[in-house]
Amino acid sequence: MVAPQLNVNFAGVRFKTPVVAASGTFGFGREYGELFDLSRLGGICVKGLTVKERHGNPPPRIAETPMGILNSVGLQNPGADVFIEKELPFLRRYDTTIIANISGNTVEEYCELAEKLSEARVDMLEVNISCPNVKAGGLAFGTTAKSAALVTEAVKKHSSVPVMVKLSPNVTDITEIARAAEGAGADALSLINTLLGMRIDIETRRPVLKNNTGGLSGPAIFPVALRMVWQVSAAVKIPIMGMGGISKAEDAVEMLLAGASLVCVGTALFSDPLAALRITEGIGAYLERKRLDSVSQLTGKVQPYQL
């Protein structure tokens, strides 16, 4: 039997495998590159980029929780210009797809980032709309359909590469936001971002995180992420990159069946730096066992009960 095809055409961009390293957990790949050949990854979604350098939130900003972690790192990064000058050339040494994750406090910042990174010839943009809109009293762009569409439409006008919008789960109806992004021209969607959470030190009676709250990721959120990907895949026609608690090949297969075309591995990399490679191999083994020719044959093939 011929080995199953793992490559995916995603919004016009070719991925060698369906497994991508998630933004915020992989940095710019240098540390992981000391452990394995980054060309073995389907793609790398780099750490979130802003217009100017950001030092992030004060510590403590990471806390373990049962089956996951809370983080309030605060988008620490060197800024888009430094990324383009120093980090992108390093990443281009490898045969893998590069996705630039961008964040802004205003629509104008998103547009500036889209122009710079498009000109630098990254393969795709991932637009993080979970950032606060300073012109709307700090309300995150991704919490209303109107603001999500506003950012998406603006970024599309300033980007020469495909635009993927990253959706927040901290909303009443994620399908409404998904449809708004699609209607505004998004080429693809990624979901879910972290769930808002909190821990308290009962001895000091203070929050464990200096920022008081943080984003929850890891296996604990997987069922929520899976449900949201399933719902969104039924609501839109553009492709989806699914993420949120994927830690083994079986999780990835579930996410593909729910409607994702690609999967992102994030928090699992902290405990197992080779998790993405292990998951890729597991997907291939599953395809062989089920006698499937291509990973694309899994996407959206869940058969829900009709009640």
Burial (Cβ within 10 Å: 0-12, 13-18, ≥19) of residue 284: middle
Known catalytic residue: 131? yes
User: In which element (H, E) is residue 137 found?
Assistant: none
* Calpha distance 15→13 (Å, rounded): 7
For 128, list phi and psi in degrees, rounded to 5.
Answer: -80, 105
**How does DSSP classify residue 85?**
I
For 232, list phi and psi in degrees, rounded to 5.
Answer: -70, -40
Q: How far is CA 73 from CA 59, 170, 226, 304, in A?
A: 8, 18, 25, 38
Q: Which of 45, 111, 131, 264 is the catalytic position?
A: 131
Give yes or no for a contact between 149 and 160, defined as CB atoms under 8 angstroms apart: no
Give the Cβ contact number of residue 201 at 10 Å. 12
**How does DSSP classify residue 11?**
T
Q: Which amino acid is at 118?
A: S
Q: Which residues are catalytically annotated? A: 131
